[in-house]
Amino acid sequence: MEKKIVVILEQRDGKIKKSSFETLTVAQHLALTLGMTVDAIVIGDRIENASEVFSFCNCQLIHFSHADLQLYSSSAYKKIVVEYASQQECEIVLLSNTSLGKDLAPRVAVGLKAGLVSDCISLEQKENQLLAIRPVYAGKALQEVTLNSEVKVYSLRPNVFKAVQLGTKAIEKNSSVAVLDPDLSNRVKEVIRSEGKLDVLEADIIVSGGRGVKGPEHFNLIESLAEQLGAAVGASRAVVDAGWRPHEDQVGQTGKTVSPSLYIACGISGAIQHLAGMSSSKYIVAINKDKDAPIFTVADYGIAGDLFEILPVLTEEIKKLKS
Amino acid sequence: MKIAVCVSHVPDTATRVKIASDQKSIDPSGVSFILNPYDEYAVEEALKTKEKFGGEVVALSVGSDKVKETIRKSLAMGVDEAIHLKTDEALDSFAVAQALADEIKLLGSELVFMGKQSVDYDNGIIGQIVAELLGFNSISVCVTFQLEGDKVTAEREIEGGKEVVETSLPCVITAQKGLNEPRYASLKGIMTAKKKVIQEKPVGSKSALVENIQLRMPTPKNPGRILGTDSSAVPELVKLLHEEAKVI
């Protein structure tokens, strides 16, 4: 029997998330390199886009279904994954390091007596070993690690690995398993959504404001630009600590570490904690009055001027471009 | 009720990281160490819980003698007792979690708080591993916490919102920023903390599941271009983002 990779997919509202397709791409690549097969598992009540899985990976998809498992339950999800992976004698478990993945991965690792590397930004076979690279000290340094355990679990940072479609879609191999009597001792009862708000962790573009915005009443400048770009609004720690913005918007070492395609920093000087949290963004734009501000050391493009004068013009120009 | 709170000793977030000559750790010279910021929320929540329901708060920390400094900070905030699980080895997360779990079992504690991650290795996995090793429930990345009898309800932060999670004791809670406002240590607290005895216990050697091959610095970014000093640079910026970077 060929050795197995198990990929844990994540669904929200019945749709498999983009970060899961990134994980499938990594699984596909590893399976080819190591001569392994891939089983993808998804847990939930109903799945609408199951067919998409086969565009990214030649695998079999197993849907564990139960009406009470549409929302996350750490106890039930762990048990399902651990039982399945042990029964299949799987060697590698992959999942995305989302808020669900972060919670689930260590539990699964303990259940499988496996080692875990969390938040990988690279995972490659080197000299007969899987070498994982992960950021430490909020990205100020990188750590290279290997696992000594027989079963190995890796959680992958979202937005870093690109989801790549196969040349030809793989044959759909679907099966469904009805979960009997799931262990719901630890379960999500309800999800409270921040209405109409895009999260900085999931956004492709982020427009962030810092102390240079001068007060919560001026954040409309940031919000208008974000709206034109379909971007999320982020904030520096200074403005979160001042109470101008909620803490879930905070980007940086004690906030969120983000890697969008485009990060626009407005009135942010670039404290080392902030740079750590956003410098892996693909493109960075800085708008700041002080041309010597550290933010310009990581920016691809900068305007060293007054954001109150620049932002309305930028918003207008983007609007023109989009129309 | 004994409430356990796990604290870790980490470099200040303002630290400019330099790699040590062993290529496996950071050079500690000139680095100031602090109580892990997320653990401050954990200590505060443990103290608040004690103030509401009674009991005592016991701090646990794994590491070399240097972690005593951080343990003292938690004592100064109001923690009653402290245990230093001593080792000079750089243990992996699983070994640290095992040491914590063994001690929590001895304490007979049914409620454990710790930060959602420590800001050095940023793993964010120890809370869940401790819970699994002990067979406890756990809720990670909490921004609220409520205890009624043995029923635990907490909100955990997720992408674009929060999840309301229900479970029961025994339970491990990992704290996210926003859970509370950590108190400052009072002068009296600092004085009392100095006099308190920190119990020391050795941690046995354990083979590592995770092998740290090396630490290295990320490749530095090429310096970018400053396009101008006012809005006259905006059209060029938009053009570059659209045509060169292709991100808008």
Give the type of residue at B168.
Answer: S
Residue B242 is assigned to a structural domain of this protein: no
Look at residue B177 and tell me whether its pLDDT is greater than 80: yes
The confidence score (pLDDT) of residue B48 equals 98
Provide the pairing of β-strand A122-126 with A129-136. Answer: antiparallel
What percentage of chain B reaches a pLDDT higher than 70?
100
ipTM passes above 0.85: yes
Cα Rg of chain A (Å, integer): 21
Asked if residue B228 is part of any domain, the answer here is no
| Assigned domain for B100 exists | yes
- Residues of B in Cβ contact (< 8 Å) with A280: 218
Which residue is listed with tokens 């994954």?
A: A81
Q: Please check whether residue B227 lies inside any domain of the structure.
A: no
Q: Is residue B88 part of a domain?
A: yes
Of A115, A134, A185, the CB nearest to B137: A185
Contact A192 B120 (CB under 8 A): no
What is the DSSP code (8-state) at residue A251?
A: B
Token representation of residue A200: 């900085």
Q: Is the pLDDT of residue B66 over 70?
A: yes
Domain span at residue B31 reads 2-202
Q: Nearest Cβ partner of B120 from A137, A247, A282?
A: A137
CA separation for the pair A78, A109 (Å, rounded): 9
Whole-number pLDDT of residue A184:
97
Contacts of A148 in chain B (CB under 8 A): 207-211
Q: Which of B23, B114, B210, B229 to mutate to test the interface with A (most CBs of A within 10 A)?
A: B210
The CATH number linked to B174 is: 3.40.50.620
* Residue B120 in this model has a pLDDT that exceeds 80: yes
Amino acid at B83: I
pTM passes above 0.90:
yes
Q: Which residues of A touch B247 (CB under 8 A)?
A: 205, 261-262, 282-283
Q: Does B159 touch chain A (CB under 8 A)?
A: yes
Domain ranges of chain A: 4-178, 205-322
Asked whether residue B14 carries a pLDDT value surpassing 80, the answer given is yes
- Asked, for residue B212, whether it belongs to a domain, the answer is no
Which 8-state DSSP code applies to residue A294? G
- Decide if B216 touches A, using CB distance below 8 A: yes
| Contact call for B165 and A188, based on CB within 8 A | yes
End-to-end, the C-alpha distance of chain A in Å comes to 56
Phi, psi (5° rounding) for residue B143?
-110, -10
Query: Looking at CA atoms only, how far is residue A185 from chain B in angstroms?
Result: 6
8 A C-beta contact, residue A36 and residue A2: yes
Q: What are phi and psi of A107, to 5 degrees?
A: -65, -45
Spell out the alpha helix ranges (H) of A181-288: 219-229, 237-241, 272-278
Domain count, chain B: 1
B209 occurs within a structural domain = no
pLDDT tens for residues B129-152? 999 999 999 999 999 999 999 999
The residues with which A134 forms a beta bridge, in sequence order, are A143
* Structure confidence by residue, pLDDT tens digits, B23-35: 999 999 999 999 9
What pLDDT does residue B220 have? Answer: 84
Helix (H, G, I), strand (E, B) or coil at A285: strand
* Closest in A98, A139, A279 to B159, CB measured: A98
Exposed, middle or buried: residue B161 (CB in 10 Å: 0-12, 13-18, 19+)? Answer: middle
Does residue B225 form part of some domain? no
> How many CB atoms within 10 Å of residue B13?
21
Nearest CA in chain B to A255: B177
Question: How far apart are the C-alpha atoms of B45 and B4, rounded to whole Å?
Answer: 11
Kindly report the CATH class assigned to A205-322.
Answer: alpha beta
Alpha-carbon gap: A9 to the closest alpha carbon of chain B (Å): 16
Other C-beta atoms closer than 10 Å to the C-beta of B147 total 18
The first and second tokens of residue A123, run together, are 């995972």
Class level of CATH domain A4-178: alpha beta
The pLDDT value given to residue B129? 98
B235 to chain A, any CB pair closer than 8 A? The answer is yes
Mean pLDDT by 10 residues, chain A (323 residues): 93 96 98 97 96 98 97 98 97 98 98 98 96 95 97 96 96 96 97 89 96 97 97 97 95 93 98 94 97 96 98 97 91
pLDDT number for residue A1: 67
Q: Which of B37, B120, B237 sits opposite A303 (nearest CB)?
A: B237
- Contacting residues of B for A138, CB less than 8 Å apart: 13, 119, 122
Give the pLDDT of residue B205.
Answer: 84
Residue type, B61: S
